[in-house]
Amino acid sequence: MDIAINKLKELKLTYKLHEHEAVLTVDALKAVVSHSKAMPSKNLFIKDKKSNFFIVTTASDAKIDMKTLGKKIGASGAIRFADDKFLTDKLKIGKGCVSPIAAMNDPTVKVFFDSSLQGTDVLVHPLVNTASVEISFDGLSSFLGGVGVETGLIDLAAGAAPAAAAAPAKKNKPDKKKKEAPKNAPKKAEKKEQGGTKLGLDASKDKDFPNWYKQVVTRSEMIEYYDISGCYILRPWSFSIWEQIQSFLDGEIKKLGVKNSYFPLFVSETVLNKEKDHIEGFAPEVAWVTRSGSSELDIPIAVRPTSETIMYPAFASWIRSHRDLPLKLNQWSNVVRWEFKCPTPFIRSREFLWQEGHSAFATLPEAEVEVLDILELYARVYEDLLCVPVVKGKKTEKEKFAGGLYTTTVEAYIPATGRGIQGATSHCLGQNFAKMFDIVFEDQEGKRREVWQNSWGLTTRTIGVMIMVHGDDKGLVLPPRVAPVHCVIVPIYFKDKAPLNAQATVLADTLLKECGVKVETDLRENYNPGWKFNHWELKGVPLRIELGPKDMEKKQVVVVRRDTGNKETIAWSDLTSKIPAILIQMQKDMLARARQKAGECMIQTYEWSHLMKTLDEKKMALAPWCGELQCEENIKTKTGEGTDEEDLAEGDDKEGEAFEKLTGAAKSLCTPFQQPELPAGTCCVLCRKPAINFTLFGRSY
């Protein structure tokens, strides 16, 4: 019980705890909590034919039709109540303790709520049946989002939910021929498999962004949820994209003289606390190792949230003379930041992959050149690879990297939610860390001087931003430069399949060998073409190449673009010239569309009322500002008035809320390098003091 209650406290959710004698039925629960006005919940723990598990929660007096329930929750085949052994194995609870809260012990268990519970307070067991938690429906939903559990709403009072629209298929043959078809006919196999894979998305990007995002990252096979909240499995489809980013950036930083290295994962408490101003911002998120087997460690060891304090003692040992400078190192690694807020795949997780660069120079001008060189590379990652436009700028003193001299940033924008998101940062650290870690060198005149340092980093958040910007209601839309597969060839069978398969293989080999286009041939015979079209659209493959019997006769194919749906007929002999050209054009078009949308949503404003209107219209405000810290604090306060979510301005992603609501305080995203003209006498948008520049304000992740 303590684990569940501590998590409720951690997420700052409002609840009441009722402790009572052990109860095994809903009626018994009603008797022991009769003083509460909340609705005792009825909870069903269900297993389907493919060993998928579900918890269905409804009002205590609700009637449930088990015949239609399976379709409503998307189960595969027949459903039944899960055996008691699964209570222990999966939910880690005893009999009579089932509740949505128990799914925290296995986030692969999906929770479905009866829609009648919306707007009510419910009673649920916190992993034991000797207590009940009284909590609002919204609070319970937020709890599940915070522990990485997928949830859904169903209407138990209505009839069976209609099955998802089937992919286009050929008309059924007459009954006589149908009887003669083998039991493993493609259509039957397709129908069974579609129910199991939940092909396609149920949620709309515009209407239900949080659920859309959850579905698109899982059903496109980008990530798999893990049993530790905030940690995710990066499946090959997403890791391949990270490898493309890594390959590009690694090659470019090496051109700048940066060398790769690797430093330990752990850092001692003494060293971590050496630079207090720096670590203060990370302190609540630091994960500590306190035990080795059954023995307590004498001195706790921290898991790195970042590596300044790990790397800089080595810098102090290695740097002695001006001849040792500049020192430019980078490492590709993971870090752990034990977020207490609701995690979101790629965007905010407890463990993530990144590169972190650390450099030391003899002079400040040298360091400042690298700061901007790296920032330009980060902008190229977003714009040239991911087709995501960014704003390059400088963070305010309030928002800069703790312990640094100043921070530069690339800021992206998510039109569907109206929120900005920090894409990557390049910091000039000045000499603060050199002083703390005694990183000094002897210059050409024999004088001891402290080095000037930079640090810079880019993470797997890049993938999440790309998904949010380009994805649609069919799934991912991948820019060609990072797509694991550039095009998929789908034969459209009629009678003789062998010639189609053979030609598809020839075309794939030709495209790969002659122009480096990565091609997948989908020769599976137990799916019809429509199913395959939907499958590869969900995964975001840039081009689909259709090859049917008539195409064989004419020696041509039909090419379909994922981003626009445009179709083009191309002769086999022209494929090696036209396919690369289409991919290049698609890359340009995706960036142009995203850039136009972002430009339309960055509004230049001079008045406070207009700034607020801009934010409420899901846009960013570029406003004149005085540059004073107190004014920045006041902007945050005033934009957050009337809401309980001011902390969203700090990036606290309350899954299911932060994505779609426009509440929450706005903050300064950056002061763009590219500034509009600031007329003499222009006043700050809030305090009306003289403005010193235009700064970009917005609600953010």
User: Each residue of 370-425: pLDDT tens digit?
Assistant: 999 999 999 999 999 999 999 999 999 999 998 899 999 999 999 999 999 999 99
| Most trustworthy range by pLDDT among 96-110, 142-156, 266-280 | 96-110
Domain assignment of residue 554, yes or no? yes
Domain assignment of residue 193, yes or no? no
309 and 402 within one domain? yes
Domain assignment of residue 257, yes or no? yes
Look at residue 345 in the predicted model and tell me its pLDDT. Answer: 94
586 and 654 within one domain? no
99 and 240 within one domain? no
Q: From start to end of 212-350, where are the E strands?
A: 223-225, 232-234, 259-260, 266-268, 287-292, 295-303, 327-336
Domain end position, chosen among 133, 154, 175: 154
Look at residue 556 in the predicted model and tell me its pLDDT. Answer: 97
Q: Which residue has the tokens 């606390």?
A: 273
Dump pLDDT digits (tens) for 122-134. Answer: 899 999 888 899 9
Whether the CB-CB separation of 52 and 69 falls below 8 Å is answered with no
455 and 349 within one domain? yes
- Which structural domain range is residue 518 located in? 487-593
Whether the CB-CB separation of 633 and 625 falls below 8 Å is answered with no
Give the number of C-alpha atoms closer than 13 A to the C-alpha of residue 1, restricted to the C-beta side. Answer: 13
Q: Which residue has the tokens 């069978």?
A: 493
Domain end position, chosen among 154, 173, 193: 154
Please tell me which residue, 178 or 111, carries the higher pLDDT value. Answer: 111
What are the structure tokens assigned to 182, written together? Answer: 């083998």
27 and 101 within one domain? yes
Q: What is the mean pLDDT of residues 547-568?
A: 96
User: What residues pair up with 332 in beta bridges, in sequence order?
Assistant: 355
Residue 700 has pLDDT above 80, yes or no: yes
Q: Is 61 left (phi over 0), alpha (psi -120 to 50) or beta?
A: alpha
> What number of other Cβ atoms are within 10 A of residue 450's Cβ?
17
Q: What is the mean pLDDT of residues 511-538?
A: 95
Look at residue 181 in the predicted model and tell me its pLDDT. Answer: 43
Query: What distances in angstroms separate CA 656 from CA 134, 138, 149, 208, 269, one per listed residue?
Result: 21, 10, 12, 9, 36
Domain assignment of residue 271, yes or no? no
DSSP state of 88: I
Q: Determine the Cα–Cα distance for residues 50 and 66; give it in Å rounded to an integer.
A: 17
Q: What is the mean pLDDT of residues 608-613?
A: 96
Q: Determine the Cα–Cα distance for residues 135 and 127; give it in Å rounded to an integer.
A: 15
652 and 519 within one domain? no
Whether the CB-CB separation of 698 and 664 falls below 8 Å is answered with no
Look at residue 449 in the predicted model and tell me its pLDDT. Answer: 97
504 and 521 within one domain? yes
User: DSSP labels for 246-266?
Assistant: HHHHHHHHHHTT-EE----SE
Residue 644 has pLDDT above 60, yes or no: no
Measured at the CA of 699, the angle between CA 695 and CA 701, to 5 degrees, comes to 115
421 and 310 within one domain? yes
Domain assignment of residue 240, yes or no? yes
Residue 272 has pLDDT above 90, yes or no: no
Look at residue 59 in the predicted model and tell me its pLDDT. Answer: 86
Dump pLDDT digits (tens) for 138-193. Answer: 889 889 988 888 888 888 876 544 333 333 334 444 444 444 444 344 443 333 33
Q: Which of 72-81, 172-181, 308-317 has the lowest mean pLDDT?
A: 172-181
Q: What are phi and psi of 472, to 5 degrees?
A: -135, -170
Give the number of C-alpha atoms closer than 13 A to the C-alpha of residue 195, restricted to the C-beta side. Answer: 20
- Per-residue pLDDT band for 647 (boundaries 50, 70, 90) equals very low
Measured at the CA of 624, the angle between CA 621 and CA 627, to 5 degrees, comes to 110
Look at residue 36 in the predicted model and tell me its pLDDT. Answer: 82
Q: Is 486 left (phi over 0), alpha (psi -120 to 50) or beta?
A: alpha
Residue 118 has pLDDT above 90, yes or no: no
625 and 499 within one domain? no
Domain assignment of residue 274, yes or no? no
Amino acid at 140: L
SS3 (DSSP) at 111? strand
613 and 518 within one domain? no
What are the structure tokens assigned to 479, written together? Answer: 């820019």
606 and 587 within one domain? no
Q: What are phi and psi of 62, to 5 degrees?
A: -75, 145
Q: What is the mean pLDDT of residues 525-532?
A: 91
Query: What distances in angstroms separate CA 261 from CA 45, 258, 356, one per listed residue?
Result: 49, 10, 10
Domain end position, chosen among 419, 443, 470: 470
Q: Which of 453, 471, 415 is nearest to 597 (CA)?
A: 415
649 and 541 within one domain? no
Q: Determine the Cα–Cα distance for residues 61 and 142; give it in Å rounded to an integer.
A: 24
> What number of other Cβ atoms are within 10 A of residue 507's Cβ?
21
Q: What is the mean pLDDT of residues 627-653?
A: 68
Q: Determine the Cα–Cα distance for residues 281 and 212; give it in Å rounded to an integer.
A: 32
Mean of the per-residue pLDDT values for the chain? 88
What are the structure tokens assigned to 6, written together? Answer: 């501590």
Q: Determine the Cα–Cα distance for residues 314 and 236; give it in Å rounded to an integer.
A: 35
Look at residue 74 in the predicted model and tell me its pLDDT. Answer: 86
Look at residue 663 in the predicted model and tell me its pLDDT. Answer: 52
DSSP state of 187: H
Whether the CB-CB separation of 199 and 216 falls below 8 Å is answered with no
The CATH number of whichever domain residue 547 belongs to comes to 3.40.50.800
Look at residue 171 in the predicted model and tell me its pLDDT. Answer: 40
Q: What is the mean pLDDT of residues 108-113?
A: 92
Q: Determine the Cα–Cα distance for residues 325 and 318; give it in Å rounded to an integer.
A: 10
Q: Determine the Cα–Cα distance for residues 471 and 469; give it in Å rounded to an integer.
A: 6
What are the structure tokens assigned to 639, written together? Answer: 């934009």
Q: What percent of the chain has pLDDT over 70?
A: 89
Look at residue 642 in the predicted model and tell me its pLDDT. Answer: 54
The CATH number of whichever domain residue 65 belongs to comes to 3.90.960.10
Query: What distances in angstroms separate CA 379 from CA 396, 411, 425, 463, one per listed residue?
Result: 19, 9, 10, 14
Q: Which of 148-157, 285-294, 528-537 has the lowest mean pLDDT?
A: 148-157
Q: What is the mean pLDDT of residues 556-564?
A: 97
- Per-residue pLDDT band for 275 (boundaries 50, 70, 90) equals low
- Which strands, in side-by-side order, build the sheet including 452-459? 259-260, 327-336, 351-361, 452-459, 419-430, 406-414, 391-394, 667-672, 693-698, 620-625, 602-604
Chain centroid to Cα 172, Å, comes to 42
User: DSSP labels for 403-468?
Assistant: TSSEEEEEEEEETTTTEEEEEEEEEEEETHHHHHHT-EEE-TTS-EEE-EEEEEEEETHHHHHHHH
Domain assignment of residue 565, yes or no? yes
The CATH number of whichever domain residue 616 belongs to comes to 3.30.110.30
Q: Which of 624, 622, 626, 625 is nearest to 604 (CA)?
A: 622
Q: Determine the Cα–Cα distance for residues 137 and 367; give it in Å rounded to an integer.
A: 53
Q: Are strands 556-561 and 602-604 parallel, antiparallel or unpaired?
A: unpaired
Q: What is the mean pLDDT of residues 658-680?
A: 81
Burial label for 348, CB within 10 Å (0-12, 13-18, 19+), is buried
Residue 643 has pLDDT above 90, yes or no: no
The CATH number of whichever domain residue 334 belongs to comes to 3.30.930.10
CA distance between the termini of the chain:
31
DSSP state of 385: I
Q: Which residue has the tokens 């006005």?
A: 37
Q: What is the mean pLDDT of residues 64-78?
A: 85
- How many domains does the chain divide into? 4
Q: What percent of the chain has pLDDT over 90?
A: 65
Dump pLDDT digits (tens) for 23-37. Answer: 888 877 887 787 788
Q: Which of 595, 578, 503 is nearest to 543 (CA)?
A: 578
Residue 430 has pLDDT above 80, yes or no: yes
Residues 6+ apart with CB under 8 A from 502: none
Domain assignment of residue 532, yes or no? yes
